[in-house]
Amino acid sequence: MCARRTPVPKFVYSFTEGNKDLKDLLGGKGANLAEMTNLGLPVPPGFTITTEACKVYLESGSEPEGLRDEVSAHLDALERTMGKRLGQADDPLLVSVRSGAKFSMPGMMDTVLNIGLSDASVAGLAAQSGNERFAWDSYRRLLQMFGKTVLGVDGDLFEDALDEAKHAKGTSDDLDLDAGDLEKLVERFKGIVRSETGRDFPQDPREQMDLAVRAVFESWNSDRARLYRRQERIPGDLATAVNVCSMVFGNLGSDSGTGVAFTRDPSTGAQGVYGDYLQNAQGEDVVAGIRNTVPLAELETLDKASYDQLMGIMETLENHYRDLCDIEFTIERGKLWMLQTRVGKRTAAAAFRIATQLVDQGLIDLDEALHRVNGAQLAQLMFPRFAEERPGQGEKAPDRIAWGIAASPGAAVGKAVFDSYTAVKWSRSGEKVILVRRETNPDDLDGMIAAEGILTSRGGKTSHAAVVARGMGKTCVCGAEELEVDTKKRRFATADGRVVEEGDLISIDGSTGKVYLGEVPVVPSPVVEYFEGTLHAGADEQGGLVQAVHRIMSHADGRRRLRVRANADNADDASRARRYGAQGIGLCRTEHMFLGEERRKEVERLILADTDDERESALRTLLPLQKDDFVELFQAMDGLPVTVRLLDPPLHEFLPDITELSVRVALAEARKDHNENDLRLLQAVHRLHEQNPMLGLRGVRLGLVIPGLFSMQVRAIAEAAAERRRAGGDPRPEIMIPLVGTVQELEIVREDAEKVLAEVAAATGVPLDIALGTMIELPRAAVTAGQIAEAAEFFSFGTNDLTQTVWGFSRDDVEASFFTAYLEKGIFGVSPFETIDRDGVGSLVRQAAEAGRATRPGLKLGVCGEHGGDPDSVHFFHEVGLDYVSCSPFRIPVARLEAGRAAIETAGSDSR
């Protein structure tokens, strides 16, 4: 009988064992290295330590049991494959130790190259490579990276020592340092390590490797990695995998080099050869933007064989992944090696264009194309852009001061700032800023988040600034080489000698790469013009962008189950909403119709009324005004439902401010100038004053205590509908009661409303079939939804108030007061006022929807809180079976797109 053993978890996978679908376990980099290995592409052999191992380490503070043995076994196998041992004195195997999480976090975690070099093996590497300079340079790079990332030594100490060595040699170029200089620098670096850490640089290669792995695990929780995750909404508990990969060298001479490439242009989606190449350099040099690269196309003249092979591999990868891939590669003495690939980040415009191009190429279908774009990208495409450089009459042409690389699109205007700290400080005080740097590094992340846009004078499309800005959807121009940026003096100089100081206004265009002095006016995006109907769907505007958007939107409309309505309360907004694809109005807030001095005065008269006559007189004046508003609205939305919500906010919102009025009355008293009206007004303001107005006399409560108010509104709606019908229109009003907590409230209002509707129908001779429903925006309403549905023909979830009351968060105060602290502490990843809190508020929505439909099958369900236009929330509302979402007109296209995506995603998971 054999003993039962609990299976030992597997923590290490050789590149030959994994595949692209194991990203949770192997991280994106590890999974794709395995996939490329399996495709037979030239990947240097290696293995991946799983995210599970990292999780154990982060939870317990030590490596999981068994990890060491597993790593030993994989290292043995690697050594056998390579025919040399790690750090072997006469011919050392060297490895890189790289982080790699499920989602790409460029430059946010640690990487150490050249592990295995030591005093003993540096000579062996020199002999084997036949290049003594290279060996010492590799050793000093190891000391520098290991010292900084693994041992925590201040990186500037190494940089300063390197600068001194170059200065002593009278050069500013690393390549001018010879083997002897670098050997001395190695000694100097070892001294820095010793004096800063109190220990010697570890000479045992396996110890180097183990410490590097541990440092990569720990870098998952570095400040900048946490900040990036919060920004990008990457969950904090995924952990990183660690890739141990045999080293190949791009810095062995001019027949070597390293580069990055895209299978298509990530900023426009155009097909072609895109990327950067750096001769005689090691991997990190390209992304860091330290030395200037050449366009990838030049590799064809430098090394035709490698170039041709690379083009072939790129085609294989794009066809295999059926998407834009980005690639890191190295050429070692004429031999091409693939170091990384992944489905590449792209701009919003490129995402739409590429998705439709791939459909045309037959690589994906329209469902997949829809799945590959999202509402956030569409929203970005709707931002305005800079006017062309063709000024109208009397206008001055914008003053262009540089033309850099269009790295991440958008039009950004702001004051130039030269460091991250100032960017954050100024933006907190309400200034719009552009962060200007020679190049950015991960320490600039705070400033990049705070800035409107980023401008650098160095680096290409794949520099840190470009990659991170694209990921954030932030405007970026990089490599504006005409600009001399002096961050110490906080200014930059233009090619014609002008100087732009900190605080001067500049404008950057991330779609063209142009940089302007001063503020350049902006114009609407072509995508908005398309939605507005001023640009034809077939327009070839911006490289087919409008066509691509039209195609994908049409598909989303064909696939979605959720209908999309608008929150609008005037004819202009309603018409725009309709142009944007609204299928009705889900929320007309009638309080907006009480604004304007003439109407506000009438509300004031209503509040101050001492007698029924006075009150009725005020209501009689308001009635025709309300009716006219509804006539216009029903006309704009003819044939489509219009949900009119009866008055919601506390009445004192229509009265003067208590402090201002008190001062006015006090001053008048002092002058013995009594104003009877002001005195009565002040008494009313005091009477109506509430400590918590949001929980006070508002919504249905107003209708119940102010006689005639709701009836007047219902009459206005009914008369407007009758008038429109008589004029040959097709008005479809629905009446909605706000802030209901119990069915009794609704029953009373309903009874009155039905009477008024019957009266108007009888008086006008027009039959009126107007549904009466309620908002569900209080926890009690949600919990008793089954009872409320007895008296309601529809529910519309008011998730703004529901979030406020479920959490006990004052919606007007908390976002400014303590939400930043909550977000920083990870209590939630995004404000619950922005994206529905599925577990709390969402769960009530789900229960109420089920209970409501149990009472009244076919009960119409919608949502009209801000969440109705939020991408993630739209998916939730689809899942819980609502009939429609309602949002502000500008967000309607986003809601349509996401409703389509939600439909195909659930269809996909049903069939799985």
User: Tokens 């690269």 appear where?
Assistant: 293
CB-based contact 700:739 (threshold 8 Å): yes
Q: Give the footprint of ligand PEP on residues 619-658 (CB under 6 A).
A: 648
Main-chain phi, psi angles of 331, to 5 degrees: -110, 120
Q: Does the annotation count 476 as an active-site position?
A: no
Binding-site partner at residue 33 among Mg ion, ligand PEP, none, CB < 5 to 8 Å by type: none
Binding-site partner at residue 760 among Mg ion, ligand PEP, none, CB < 5 to 8 Å by type: none
- The whole-angstrom separation of Cα 240 and Cα 237 is 9
Tokens matching residue 220: 């998952």
Q: Give the footprint of ligand PEP on residues 800-829 (CB under 6 A).
A: 800-801
The interface mask with Mg ion, positions 234-273, x = CB under 5 A, is ----------------------------------------
Binding-site partner at residue 278 among ligand PEP, Mg ion, none, CB < 5 to 8 Å by type: none
For 717, other C-beta atoms within 10 Å of its C-beta total: 31
Strand 12-14 vs strand 46-49: parallel, antiparallel, or unpaired?
Answer: antiparallel
CB of 801 to ligand PEP, least distance (A): 3
Beta bridge partners of 81: none
Which residues contact residue 695 at a Cβ distance below 8 angstroms, ignoring those fewer than 6 apart?
805
The helix (H) or strand (E) run that includes residue 47 is strand 46-49
Which of 248/587 has CB closer to ligand PEP? 587
In one-letter notation, the amino acid at residue 852 is G
Alpha carbon 192 to chain centroid, angstroms: 41
Stretch that binds Mg ion, among 446-454, 620-628, 652-660, 790-798 (CB under 5 A): 790-798
Which of 800/843 has CB closer to ligand PEP? 800
CB of 622 to ligand PEP, least distance (A): 20
CB of 799 to ligand PEP, least distance (A): 5
Which of 157/885 has CB closer to ligand PEP? 885
Count the residues of the shown chain that bind Mg ion, applying the rule CB under 5 A.
Answer: 3
CB of 634 to ligand PEP, least distance (A): 21
- Binder among 135, 142, 287, 587 for ligand PEP (CB under 6 A): 587
Q: Does the annotation count 464 as an active-site position?
A: yes
Which of 554/800 has CB closer to ligand PEP? 800
CB of 809 to ligand PEP, least distance (A): 13
Angle between helix axes 612-636 and 597-608 (nearest 10 degrees) is 140
Q: Give the footprint of ligand PEP on residues 113-132 (CB under 6 A).
A: none
CB of 648 to Mg ion, least distance (A): 6
Strand 411-417 vs strand 433-437: parallel, antiparallel, or unpaired?
Answer: parallel
- The whole-angstrom separation of Cα 532 and Cα 716 is 31
Main-chain phi, psi angles of 736, to 5 degrees: -125, 135
The interface mask with ligand PEP, positions 274-313, x = CB under 6 A, is ----------------------------------------
Count the residues of the shown chain that bind ligand PEP, applying the rule CB under 6 A.
Answer: 10
Binding-site partner at residue 805 among ligand PEP, Mg ion, none, CB < 5 to 8 Å by type: none
Q: Is 798 in the site for Mg ion (CB under 5 A)?
A: yes
Task: Please give the residue whose beta carbon sits closest to Mg ion in the complex.
Answer: 801
Q: Give the footprint of ligand PEP on residues 761-800 (CB under 6 A).
A: 777, 798-800
Which of 733/798 has CB closer to ligand PEP? 798
Q: Which one from 54, 245, 864, 887 is the annotated catalytic residue?
A: 864
CB of 381 to ligand PEP, least distance (A): 27
- Binder among 44, 344, 865, 869 for ligand PEP (CB under 6 A): 865
CB of 702 to ligand PEP, least distance (A): 13
CB-based contact 757:772 (threshold 8 Å): no
- The whole-angstrom separation of Cα 316 and Cα 325 is 10
Binding-site partner at residue 837 among Mg ion, ligand PEP, none, CB < 5 to 8 Å by type: none
3-state secondary structure of 636: helix
Main-chain phi, psi angles of 438, to 5 degrees: -65, -50
- The whole-angstrom separation of Cα 88 and Cα 109 is 29
Main-chain phi, psi angles of 667, to 5 degrees: -65, -40
- Binder among 132, 801, 870, 872 for Mg ion (CB under 5 A): 801
Number of helices followed by number of strands (H, E) in the chain = 36, 31
- The whole-angstrom separation of Cα 329 and Cα 339 is 5
- Binder among 734, 777, 866, 883 for Mg ion (CB under 5 A): 777
CB of 694 to ligand PEP, least distance (A): 8
- The whole-angstrom separation of Cα 869 and Cα 611 is 45
Tokens matching residue 481: 């080489």
- The whole-angstrom separation of Cα 337 and Cα 334 is 10
Which of 604/648 has CB closer to ligand PEP? 648
- The whole-angstrom separation of Cα 810 and Cα 691 is 12
Nearest to 462 by CA among 294, 619, 577: 294
Q: Could you tell me the CA-to-CA distances from 102 to 19, 23, 521 in Å, in that order?
A: 13, 5, 41
Q: Is 847 in the site for ligand PEP (CB under 6 A)?
A: no
Residue 132, CB half-sphere, CA atoms under 13 Å: how many? 8
Binding-site partner at residue 865 among Mg ion, ligand PEP, none, CB < 5 to 8 Å by type: ligand PEP
Which of 285/629 has CB closer to ligand PEP? 629
Q: Could you tell me the CA-to-CA distances from 476 to 322, 774, 875, 893 in Å, in that order?
A: 28, 47, 31, 26
Which of 444/801 has CB closer to ligand PEP? 801
Which of 320/589 has CB closer to ligand PEP? 589
CB of 597 to ligand PEP, least distance (A): 23
Q: Which one from 74, 464, 555, 875 is the annotated catalytic residue?
A: 464
If 0-12 CB within 10 Å is exposed, 13-18 middle and 19+ buried, where does residue 51 land?
A: buried
Q: Give the footprint of Mg ion on residues 100-129 (CB under 5 A).
A: none
Residues forming contacts to ligand PEP in the complex (CB under 6 A) are: 587, 589, 648, 777, 798-801, 864-865
Residues forming contacts to Mg ion in the complex (CB under 5 A) are: 777, 798, 801
Query: Where in the sequence numbering do the catalytic residues fall?
Result: 464, 864
